[in-house]
Amino acid sequence: MTNLLRRPETAGGADAAVAAPRATGPRFHWRDYTVYIAFAVIFVIFAITLSGDGFLSSNNLTNIVAQTAPISIMAVAVTFVIVAAQIDLSVGSVAGLSSVTTAMAIQQWGGIPGVIVGVLTGVAIGAVNGTLVAYVGIPSFLVTLGMLGIAAGLAMWITNSAPKPIIDQTYNDIFGSAEILGVPILVLWTLVAVAIGHVILRKRPFGRYVLATGGNEEAARFSGIPTRRIVFTVMLASGVVAALAGMLYAGRLQSGRFSWGQGDELSVIAAVVLGGTSLFGGRGSVIAALVGSLLIGMINNGMLILGLEFSQQQVVRGCIIILAVALAGRG
């Protein structure tokens, strides 16, 4: 697999290994905790400065989690992609496309076919990405950059850039606005996705194989791991999960539109990297990626309450991401 970036330790590590075991146990990695510290710091700052504006109300806090759901869910799948030393830039556009295909299918055939079409959209794009990256050998950066354009273009093309309303209330409830025991369903979607992702990465053989493939593809192959199939699978899963995120946008906003999710790839990748996942592959955490997503969601929410304009929000968001990633040990 072509790695987007060269792993720096291959050269320097040569000397390290000659010496006898030195450090006692694993070293303390600041970057494993940066995201939690950053989250706490920014939370406290907002809690103090914005307490009068309702930032701390439980309503607002749940709202942050619910609104961030698509980012959080995509971050789960993209964690696997980045751990496997790949990248997926197409997730935001795929979300937009699936919101549109789902809405159109619901208009045509009803709720259940709509859900099936939405998922199949993700399967199709994920399979194309996965095949090109894993079996044809094109760098994932290029494949998914191209797919970003293709998916966004398709979504505009088939809708003439117009929103497609969804009037199926069951769909809108399940994928958007329902509450179960007072908990918004988007929060539940997030928790389920994170739980599944965490268990697969930490407790299933597949997760270990993704870690090994990203850590050293050659050694993984020499250990009998089908590394191409692993890479294909994470790219496929990323497409499917991005489609699901688009369906959540569609449910919450009761419509499909090409612009839903547009640009989300930056927030998603930032969330994953903030969570300490190495851009070089081989290590990562789903839970930390969730905290990274929530951090981004919280910043967005705080800036909204502060009344910052969209342009100003973008500048602040960019600064915070650079700062946090720098603190997290430069990927």
Partner 1 sequence: MGVSANGSAAAAPRLRASGIEKRFGDVEVLRGVDFEVRPGEVHALLGGNGAGKSTLMKILEGVHQPDGGTIELDGERVSFPSPHAARAQGVSMIFQEFSLVPSLTVAENLSLGAEPRTTGGFLDDNAARRAARERLGRLDADIDPGARVGRLSTAYWQLIEIAKALTDDTRVLIMDEPTASLASNEVERLFELIRRLRGEGISIVYISHRLEEISQIADRVSILRDGQMVATEDVADVSIDDILEHMTGEQLEAPSAAAPAAARAAANGDGARPLLSVEGLATRTVVRDVSFTVRPGEVLGVVGLMGSGRTEVARALFGIDRITAGTVRLDGEELGLGSPRDAIDAGIVLVPEDRRLQGLVLMHSVESNLLLPLYDDLTKGGLIDDGAGGSIYQRFAQRLRIKTASPRTPAQQLSGGNQQKIVIAKWLASDPKLLILDEPSAGVDIPTRNEIGEIIRSLTADGKAVVLISSDLTEVLDLADRLIVLREGRVTRELRRDEVHSEPELHRLVQVA
Q: Which residues bind partner 1 (CB under 8 A)?
A: 9, 13-14, 16-26, 199, 203-205, 208-209, 211-212, 215-216, 218-226, 282-283
Q: How far is the CB of 72 from partner 1 (least distance, A)?
A: 23
Report the nearest approach of partner 1 to the CB of residue 229 (Å).
Answer: 10
CB of 33 to partner 1, least distance (A): 17
Q: Which is nearer to partner 1, 86 or 93 (CB)?
A: 86
Residue pair 258/61 in contact by the 8 Å Cβ criterion: no
Look at the block and give the residue holding tokens 């979607």: 189
Q: Which is nearer to partner 1, 201 or 243 (CB)?
A: 201
Judged by DSSP in three states, 87 sits in: coil
Contacts of 296 (CB under 8 A, 6+ apart): 68, 71, 267, 270, 271, 274, 317, 321
Q: Which amino acid would we find at residue 228?
A: R
Which tokens belong to 86? 């790949």
Nearer to partner 1, 45 or 199 (CB): 199
Q: What's the min distance (Å) between Cβ of 196 and partner 1? A: 12
Where are the extended beta strands (E) located within the chain? 164-165, 179-180, 183-184, 255-256
Q: How far is the CB of 283 from partner 1 (least distance, A)?
A: 7
Cα 167 to Cα 174: distance, rounded to the nearest angstrom: 13
Which residue, 14 or 136, has its beta carbon nearer to partner 1?
14
**Angle (nearest 5°) at CA 228 between 222 and 232:** 150
Q: Measured at the alpha carbon of residue 306, what is the angle toward residues 304 and 308, in degrees to the nearest 5?
A: 65
Q: How far is the CB of 271 from partner 1 (least distance, A)?
A: 22
Closer of 36 and 283 to partner 1 (Cβ):
283
Bridge partners, residue 303, by sequence: none
Q: Tell me if 159 sits within 8 A of 256, measured CB to CB.
A: yes
Give the nearer residue to partner 1 in terms of CB position, either 100 or 230: 230
Closest approach of partner 1 to the CB of residue 212, in Å: 5
Closest to partner 1 by CB, 12 or 182: 12
CA gap 132, 126 in Å, rounded: 10
How far is residue 112's CA from residue 118's CA, in Å, rounded to a whole number? 10
